[in-house]
Structure 1
Amino acid sequence: MRTVVGDEALDGAVDSIVAAGRAVALGLLIGRLGSGGRDFVVGLVQTPVKEDGGDAAVLLSSSGNQSRSRSGAGSMALSIDAEWVAEHARQISRMLLGGLGVVGLYCLAPDSAFKQSTAILCQVSNAVAAVTSISAQERFVLQISTSPRRLACKVCTVEPNGSSSLKPCEWKLAKISTNLQSLTCTYSFDASIPVRSAAQADTFKNKLLSWTASEIKVIQSAEVLINNELQEGENYSGDVQLLLPFNNKEVVEGDNPAIVTGNVNVKGSVDARAYGFPREPASMAIDAIKEDIIASLRNRIDILCEEAEQQSAEQAPLSLLSHCGSVRSLSSLFLS
């Protein structure tokens, strides 16, 4: 049977969830899948209430009416807003440090309602998997029962047609967070991007995305030093340096100079951090720190593109260029 290892600190988090006295509680599991042949969960993140003030998950009676009872008497099932949970998972996934991801759901509900809700829980797991970066085809559902208090973990295989089933797996607690090894890295960049003032409204966005794709390739191919040394094996921790190719300063080209009205200089730095789990080789943590740099860079470029699109809807292209500046520093956007 598959084993999922939860951090000992989760016991206190579960106590808080139970003590709130709610009939239903839903949230995300944070951890890593298949790390050194094992799966880890290190955090629980509660799904917030929806914009209209309603809960993402409610308990419904057989008549379709919402119930506030914790007993679960009668025929009851869960109603879950999969789209809202998935959007929460997407945002949380973007903020997580390297080496961590959204690996599933936790759900507090009466046993009878949980058993009646396998289909919707799998549907929500599929929706979460579709918007998060982990490529594995499995997610976990941690069931929290109150009478008596107990935890049971299930594994859900992600299926596009939603026909998944929940299969039991072993859940145990261990010291994880105190044994994690961490890596930190500051990655700096400097690029000059030519921008046209006319024709296509999305030119600015396309140029930024093109530069980002090129920069990601540089990061992925870089050699890595940890504390100024090449690292192998399982014992590692400290500062990371990326050894980049010579003359890697990116200049995006391809425009006719006659129609280029200015340049946007993308300059700044990303402070990244990643965690390695026990028994992992250093190579996995190195991949995690690169993933954190790439995710931070991509997310902040997305923010800048959204900013530019909003302004282009209000201003002429030339005014947008003036606003962005012939030199635009992004240092304030690239904080960890």
Structure 2
Amino acid sequence: MGRSVQVDATIHSYAEGCVQRRVIAEVGALVGRCAPGKDLVLQALPVPSRDGGVPLAVTASGSASKKTGKGSKPGSTLAGSLQLDEELVLEYACLLERLLPGGLDVVGFYLLCPAAAFAAAAAPLTALAAHAGRELSGRLSSLLLLHIDSVSGELSLRDGGPGAGTAALRPCELKLAKLLDQMVLLQSRYEVSMQLPVTSGRQELAAAFQAAADGAAAGAQGALGLVDGRLATEGWQLADVPAAADDGSAASTGPIAVELLLQPSSSLAMCTAGGGKAGSGLLRGRAEGGAVGQVSIQGCLDCRACLHRREAAAAAVEAVRLDVRRSLQARMDALLDAAEQQQEAAAAEAEEQQGRPHGGAAAAPLPPPPAHPLFAAAGDSSAPLLVSLPRRAFVAAAAAGGLPYCDYLFEGESTQAVLGRLQLLLPMPGLATAAVECLEQAVGRQAPSLSPSAALPLRAGSGSRGVGALPCSALVVGAGAVAVLALAVGYFSLGGQ
């Protein structure tokens, strides 16, 4: 037996429940943690249906006549018995990983189906794992494939890595354990201040966003850190923190404070919209030449990570650094997509008004919707326009199966919007009435007297372990960009019926 993987016992209970309900076929994503010497699978989350179709079905023959959804392309027929909507599965996995804190990833997929159907589908499943490995930002070298026998409920795990080949998937050693009770939550602050050019082209603007995300992440790369006020090293574990020594899970205890020790901002390399040191050469020179204005994007990020209590403290710092990149990229993805949608809505409204008849009883044309701040800056290139990043909100871990999921709020949205979107992706009844925690403030609403460290009032209650006193880490980066993935649109396309 090769790779050894620990699987949370709740997944086995879920499999038994599926057998009792006589579920024939189901596909979903596996959430867990892959670290050197520690592979953990914590949750199995089914892919929601879309347009009345299902992402996985067992077919009586090898035909692809059964469609996966109204108006959607037929899925790939697996060995004449399984029909999988690979596009929907990958879309769900990409959306799901953006809801996770640092340290956790989409580590693979599970398929609930007859054993013979799973065994016959080795080649297509290997291709699915390889495709997902390229699409997901975690860039894991090997994704897992968990089979749940729809007849017996038996679990078997396979390694879908590049070396698995197309003929068979490598078996893994599966060990059931109570893992969720051993996970601990960590929290840090990270301040960003970015000057970005507004360009007339979508591609150039995306390149500018990508360089900003790369520059911000580069500032945290290699940084040392303090965990609960103590220098994080490989020589001690998170369990050595007094508050984490009682086997308290992330669902029942507060976060452990982490502080990143960054270089002074003046020594950080600046980046340009067209590429440069942080931009990886994306569209070099094109964004600068097409700039029609500037915006200043600022915020103090609530960064979190979730790790096993028996991991080294140094791993906690690395997980927080990774969360900086993931969280910033998710926010800027959403911000850029919202800008484009609002600009398109304004253009459509203006076109509609031009087509209306004038005179007579016709109503006066309505003014077009206001342009998004990113595009409003195009009219005034003399001074950057201040734009707040979408704020991060976390749902109580106890309501989400023991893990702290998050989403991002735009100005004017309430925490109910977070719960509504999460319920589309996470099949957890407790989310309907779950508590939502949003500790970030919009930059435009901060009182002038507040210092950067006070801009994010972390709650310092009985379970906060002193996080409220944690100062922000300042970082100033140049222009940059993010590959566009529409969060809100993706939510509703997955949940639409």
**How many angstroms does 1:292 deviate by?**
0.9
| Secondary structure in structure 1 of the residue aligned to 2:92 | helix
**Equivalent-residue separation in structure 2 for 1:304 and 1:293 (angstroms):** 16
Amino acid of the residue matched to residue 329 of structure 1? Answer: V
One-letter code aligned to 2:60: S
Deviation at 1:261, TM superposition (A): 6.5
Asked if 2 retains the 8 angstrom alpha-carbon contact of 1:156 and 1:165, the reply is no
Q: Work out which of the residue numbers 138, 141, 145 in structure 1 matches 2:145.
A: 141
Report the TM-score when normalising by structure 2. 0.57
How much does 1:275 deviate?
Answer: 1.8
Residues of 2 paired with 1:204 and 1:121: CA distance?
A: 36
CA 1:129–1:36 in 2, change beyond 3 Å: closer, same or farther?
closer
1:14 aligns with 2:45: no
Corresponding residue for 1:49? 49
Cα distance, 1:227–1:208 mapped onto 2, change above 3 Å: same
- Aligned-pair CA distance for 1:136: 3.5
Q: Does 1:300 align with 2:357?
A: no
Structure 1 residues 18 and 218: CA distance shift in structure 2, 3 A: same
| Distance in 1, Cα, partners of 2:219 & 2:23 | 49
Deviation sequence 1:130-170 (CA, Å, 0-9, x none): 2113334322221112433311112222369x726212222
Displacement of 1:333 after TM fit? 3.6
**What is the SS of the residue equivalent to 2:124?**
helix
Structure 1 pair 134–295 and aligned structure 2 pair: CA distance change class (3 A)? closer
Distance in 1, matches of 2:161 and 2:198, equals: 46
> Is the 1:156–1:164 contact (alpha carbons within 8 Å) kept by the matching residues of 2?
no
Unaligned runs of 5+ in 1: 67-74
SS of the aligned residue for 1:15 comes to helix
Give aligned pairs, total: 322
Q: 1:165 to 1:133 in 2, by over 3 A?
A: farther
Name the residue aligned to 2:378. Answer: 321
1:54 to 1:260, Cα distance in 2 relative to 1, 3 A: closer
**Counterpart of 2:25 in structure 1: which amino acid?**
V
1:85 aligned to which of 86, 89, 93: 89
CA distance in 2: counterparts of 1:187 and 1:223, whole angstroms: 14
Q: Distance in 2 between matches of 1:334 and 1:206?
A: 23
What is the aligned-residue identity percentage?
27
1:56 and 1:81 in contact (8 A); partners too:
yes
Cα RMSD, aligned residues only: 3.4
Equivalent residue letter for 2:378? L
Residue aligned with 1:149, SS: coil
Secondary structure of the equivalent of 2:59? strand
Q: In the alignment, what sits opposite 1:155?
A: 159
> What amino acid maps onto 2:49 in structure 1?
V
- Structure with the bigger RCO (C-alpha within 8 Å, sep 6+) is 2
> 1:70 matched to which residue of 2?
none
- Give, in angstroms, the shift of residue 86 of structure 1: 1.1
Q: Which TM-score applies when normalising by structure 1?
A: 0.82
Distance 2:223 2:217 in 1: 10
Aligned-pair CA distance for 1:16: 3.3
Residues 234 and 175 of structure 1, relative CA distance in 2, 3 Å threshold: farther
- Taking a change above 3 Å as real, the CA distance of residues 245 and 159 of structure 1, as seen in their structure-2 partners, is same
Is the CA contact (8 Å cut-off) linking 1:29 and 1:41 kept in structure 2?
Answer: yes
Once the two structures are TM-superposed, the CA of residue 106 in structure 1 deviates from its matched residue by 1.1
- Per the alignment, do residues 322 and 222 of structure 1 end up closer, same or farther by CA in structure 2, a change over 3 Å counting? farther
> In the alignment, what sits opposite 1:24?
25
2:330 is the alignment partner of 1:273:
no
Structure 2, unmatched stretches of 5+, are 67-78, 242-255, 274-284, 348-370, 395-497
- Separation in 1 of the partners of 2:110 and 2:341? 37
Mapped to 2, the partners of 1:10 and 1:293 lie a distance apart of: 29
Residue 126 of structure 1 is aligned with which of 95, 118, 130? 130
The separation in 2 between residues aligned to 1:244 and 1:63, in whole angstroms, is: 57
Kindly indicate whether the alpha-carbon contact (under 8 Å) linking 1:119 and 1:163 is maintained by their aligned counterparts in 2: yes
